[in-house]
Amino acid sequence: MANLKEVRTRIGSVSSTQQITSAMKMVSAAKFRRAQNAILGMRPYSAQLNEIMNDIDVEDGVVTPYHDNRKVENVLLVVVTSNKGLCGAFNSNVIKEATARVNHYTDEEKVLNLQMITIGKRASEFFGKRKFNVVESHDGLLDKPSFDAVANLADNIMQAFCDKKYDRVELIYNQFKNSLVQILSTEQFLPVEPKKSAAVTAKRNDYIYEPGKAEILREMVPLTLRSHFYRVILDSLAAEHGARMNAMQKATDNATELLKELKLSYNKARQAAITNEIIEIVSGSEALKG
């Protein structure tokens, strides 16, 4: 009977876990839909800005301070994770990639100064405890991401690059593809690298620039960088909720399978106990007859 009690306890525990994971999946699904609508609404705007930027010829000397491609001695890594866990390998993949980039710049490129800005508590906690050079943490950006707050951080990074505090800025995050797939991405944010491929030249639109290319470029580059940074945050949020929804679905399915096995074990143990009791009764009866 002790075995039956143990199995009943496990059935109750797994059943409670199944209810929790199922509820978390529904919550993540609601958040995922909002995040998905936000990133899908942002992408056409960001893509149009990039298309306009590609149409402006920067190969004839029309550049901005954000195009300054100098010797890399100071590097900034912007690492975007989530504030919460229970989303599979979402955070661990970003942390592994960020650690690999740190090792690359430290061991191979021998940069003089490597700093990091973390967005998301998982990255802040991991790199903060391991004495990485984390200069800023902006975990609150993920709670209610607004363009103004994200643009303010992007402006600070852009200004630091223009002041030559950093020679290169990289973004490490999960790009949203769909609810099941997240693409681990490492992108160079600064300096801006203009597209020079023949395909871009062939598709270039014939714009009339007023007042001129240089003035438009100086206005367009910061705007494009802000929108790109905001898109990265929205991408990460949508990918996070998709990963958590998928993880909770798998956890619920695993709990369902485990419940089936436990109930089968419980029924077998119960039948064995009943059989033993019947055997004992029959044996006692036969002994009394003798």
CB 129 within 8 A of CB 32: no
Euclidean distance between CA atoms 249 and 257, whole angstroms = 12
Residues 6+ apart with CB under 8 A from 197: none
Is 162 annotated in the active site? no
The active-site residue out of 14, 24, 63, 87 is: 87
Nearest to 169 by CA among 194, 187, 190: 190
> What is the C-alpha separation between 34 and 37, in angstroms, rounded?
5
- Name the residues annotated as catalytic: 87
